[in-house]
Amino acid sequence: MSAAPARPGQTTSARPDIVERDDLERLVRRFYGQALHDPVIGHLFEIAQMDLDAHVPTMVDFWQTIVLPIPAYRRSAFAVHVALHEQEPLTAEHFDRWLTLWNQTVDELFAGERAELAKARATRVARAFALRLAGRSEPLLRIERPAAR
């Protein structure tokens, strides 16, 4: 019996690459399933009063726009974080933990060019948000950039 043909963008790894919106929804749901209960950042979602079922389509739009790229997100992700930061200051520990959980979740589910892009773009977004929220020229993040391949 032969193996099923690979989807476009799929690697030879047991884990597929991110190739469509459904992949991103699976990633976002798994990530938030962990993040909501995380001892470092879980409380932030309670403060933000995030309704996961209502929030997922918006987050999938965001990641679809920057990973696939298929334009779908037309809001300001930063504005949401500013509002949260005003209620509970976001720290380096929060950004580091968010990024660690995101990268672990991507690696659990996917492997390939777009999976790596999802991690790189998450690092870039986290760095930019941390800088802007702190009003500083140095990032709040302690995590180093991934090594260039």
For the segment 9-53, what is each residue's pLDDT rounded down to a tens digit?
544 569 999 999 999 999 999 999 999 999 999 989 888 888 889
> What pLDDT shows up at residue 123?
95
Give the pLDDT confidence of 77-93 residue by residue, as tens digits: 767 777 777 878 888 88
Q: In whole angstroms, give the CA distance from residue 146 to residue 72.
A: 27
Predicted confidence band of residue 149 (pLDDT cuts 50, 70, 90) = very low
Predicted pLDDT at 133:
84
Q: Report the run of H or E that residue 142 belongs to, with start and end.
A: none
Burial class (CB in 10 A: 0-12, 13-18, 19+), 73: middle
Domains and CATH numbers, the chain: 21-134 (1.10.490.10)
Nearest to 142 by CA among 128, 127, 129, 132: 127
